[in-house]
Amino acid sequence: MTFPASRLAVAGAVALLAACSRNPKPVAAAPPSPTATDALREQMHRDSLLASARADSIARAQKAAESHADSVRAAVMSETVDSSKDVTNTGLDAADAAAMAERVHFDYNKADLHPGDVQLLQRKLGILQAHPQLAVQVAGNCDERGSDEYNLALGERRAAAAKRWLTAHGVADSRITIISYGKERPLDSGHDEAAYAKNRRDEFVVTRAVR
């Protein structure tokens, strides 16, 4: 049987359309618009600037900490009088002078006051309350482990802990100053736990005498 040419042409067109519908040609994604590209480039630039500023800030802080550690070390090396000396010329009697000079000690890597140390602070509190003109400096110290910068910060927290307790119990803030010597002023030059325990301490020095 033969078919007219027109019917054959229609059948061919139908077959071609069916094949195209079964295998659609993938459509390429549109390239990002110039506006989107510019925004992405700008965001990358801002991120780069922020990262650079952060790194610069960290470097400056590290340099400042190292400079402070060097200053403390130089000050300690130049001192001729040890702050652990007996308290003299303060107007205190021997018993009170000894009580003011008693040291507070700390656990490794800690700045928390022990119950026994609180008892020492209570004795100091009574002396400070009895002598309103008396002023003291609290010096925080550490053992030799850890960096200079870390120990300076830890020593300051230790000194601040004692000051915070005393001011919380009524001593005027202006009567107590604090300083940190980090690990620069060990009482014991040994390298064992017994020496470390002695060196983790607060020292108390009278800076204004009883009048």
| Per-residue pLDDT tens digits for 27-40 | 556 565 667 777 88
| Per-residue pLDDT tens digits for 77-106 | 555 444 444 445 788 999 999 999 999 999
Domain residue ranges in the chain: 41-80, 94-208
CATH class of the domain comprising 94-208: alpha beta
Min mean pLDDT across 44-53, 138-147, 163-172 is at 44-53
Residues contacting residue 32 through CB under 8 Å, at least 6 positions apart: 40
Record the tokens describing residue 96, joined without a space.
């009170």
Helices 115-130/148-168 angle, 10° precision: 60
| Per-residue pLDDT tens digits for 60-82 | 656 665 565 566 555 555 554 44
What is the three-class DSSP state of 99?
Answer: helix
For residues 194 and 65, give the distance between their C-alpha atoms in angstroms, rounded to a whole number.
29
